[in-house]
Structure 1
Amino acid sequence: MTKTPPPRFVIVQQQPDKRPYIWSAVAAAWVASLLAAWFWSQSLAAPKLPRLTAELEATQRELKLRQQQLDRLSQRESTLQRSDQISRSANKQVQAALAEREDEISDLRADVAFYERLVGATAPAKGLNVHSVEFKPEAGGTWRYQIYLTQNLNRGAVSSGGLQFQVEGVRGGKLAAISWNELHQKSQAPAQDYSFRYFQELVGSVMLPDGFTPQRVRVSLRGATGSIDQQFAWKSGVTVTGET
């Protein structure tokens, strides 16, 4: 009996490829090992890290709060500084105003004291009056005059008008009078204005001609409240004081 020869090809059922699963398992194990190593290293290197993190967050919140308080204090300090500057400026203005008022009061007191010295406490009441006349030499040959006018009859009333004077003396061996125009070396020199309640000082400069020796000064006042003429002696060639 003839034997049947074995088949030339054998059909074998193919098994599924398990390599992807193996690689996935290896990768998962590797990631798990990394996580385990990280947690293990964290527990070894910083066992108190969570508490420190919480404390750091609390410190940051406290710092933010303190910064806000510092900003408010800085703003308040700036406001106080501006207020202080305004107060200092206002105080300086008040002090300056007070100083000006004190100067005015001092001037008024000096005026009152001077006026009392001029008229005296027991002096009789007078209307418009030339109290004194003074002449002093200046550089260049001119003479500076100071004439004080007073009145204590009409208290509070204003005396106003114009002043002129002439100087009488000797020139070339003869009596001569140097007029207001000649003293100012002008053809029509205007009178010197005056206006006061109690007293006033009038000043100016005049020129005496060469060869003239002054002896007297005749002062004329012309105003709405009255007109007067007063004569004063020229003493020592320098000062004229006291009515003759």
Structure 2
Amino acid sequence: MPAPVPSRFRIVPRDAAVRRRGTSLLFLVAWVASLGAVWWAASHTAAPRLAQADAARTQAERELEAVSAELTTLRQRESTLARSDQISRAANAEVQEGLAERDEEIAALRADIAFYERLVGSTSQRKGLSVHVAEFAPEAGGTWRYQIMLTQTMNRGAISQGQMRFIVEGVRAGKLATVQWDELHQQRSAPAQAYSFRYFQQLDGNVMLPPDFTPQRVKVSLHGEDAAVEQALDWKTATAAGGK
């Protein structure tokens, strides 16, 4: 006889199937209940803490904004103070510079007053238009800086006006020579230097001497409406006074 074919179906007792369904349902209910318990626990524990965290974060943000605003204000105040201090320092330096200049002006005025007192004092001898002093000092580049002081005390109420020129006498190539006004200024028809004063006036400027020339004296000529003066001064004396 041929062997019997196995069946695809299996006979299960009804009570066993019911028990399996019940177990599965019980597991499902337990799982749902656990989810509910987890949700309840999260709602009653995590939610309050989350609310507290949000409140703390909001408070921290407010405090941060307040601190940032205060920091900005302090930085602006620091910048303003720094700028004010810079302005104060600059103003103080300017004042100090101005005071120094005024001190120099006062010293110069005092020297002028002392010179004026010696010039027109009651014991001083009255003189007409003359060269009080001539000073020459060498400069870089070969030029000479001159300062010539003119005075007059004969007529104390009059104004002396005119023009001043000078020449320099000396030796060139072993021979006596004279450097004229135009050559001293390296200019043809160089204009004379004008003067106008009541008691004294200082004239200054720059001239150029030839490189092969040895100066010995300077001769100053003054030409005015009512006076013509020519006065010679020793070059060594003039340069010694100019180099002091």
TM-score band by shorter chain is 0.5 to 0.7
Amino acid at match of 1:91: N
Give distance in 1, aligned partners of 2:136 and 2:107: 28
Alignment match, 2:89: 88
Q: Percent identical across equivalent pairs?
A: 40
CA distance in 2, matches of 1:168, 1:78: 67
* CA displacement 1:185-218 (0-9 Å, x = unmatched): 99976564142532324575667x99x998xx76
The gaps in structure 2 that reach 5 residues or longer are: 1-20, 171-175, 239-244
Q: Does 1:227 align with 2:231?
A: no
Q: Equivalents in 1 of 2:50, 2:237: separation in Å?
A: 106
TM-superposed deviation, 1:73:
1.9
Unaligned runs of 5+ in 1: 1-17, 170-175
User: Residues 218 and 231 of structure 1 are in contact (CA less than 8 Å); yes or no, is this contact kept in structure 2?
Assistant: yes
Determine if the alignment matches structure 1 residue 193 to structure 2 residue 193.
yes
Does the CA-based 8 Å contact 2:182-2:190 persist in structure 1? no
1:99 aligns with 2:100: yes
Distance (Å, rounded) in 1 between the aligned partners of 2:185 and 2:28: 131
The equivalent residue for 2:242 is: none
1:30 matches 2:34: yes
Alpha carbons of 1:121 and 1:23: their partners in 2 closer, same or farther (altered >3 Å)?
farther
Aligned length: 202
Structure with more of its chain in helix, by fraction: 2
RMSD: 5.3
- Structure 2 distance, partners of 1:48, 1:27, is 26
Asked if structure 2 preserves the Cα contact closer than 8 Å seen for 1:194 and 1:200, the reply is no
* 1:31–1:150 CA distance, 2 compared to 1 (3 A): same
- Alpha-carbon deviations, 1:158-183, whole Å to 9, x = none? 533222457899xxxxxx99695698
Q: Is the 8 A contact 1:161 1:222 kept in 2?
A: yes
Shift, 1:29, TM fit: 0.8
What's the TM-score, normalizing by structure 1? 0.52
Give the match for residue 72 of structure 2: 71
Q: Give the equivalent residue in structure 1 for 2:131.
A: 130
**TM superposition score normalised by structure 2:** 0.52
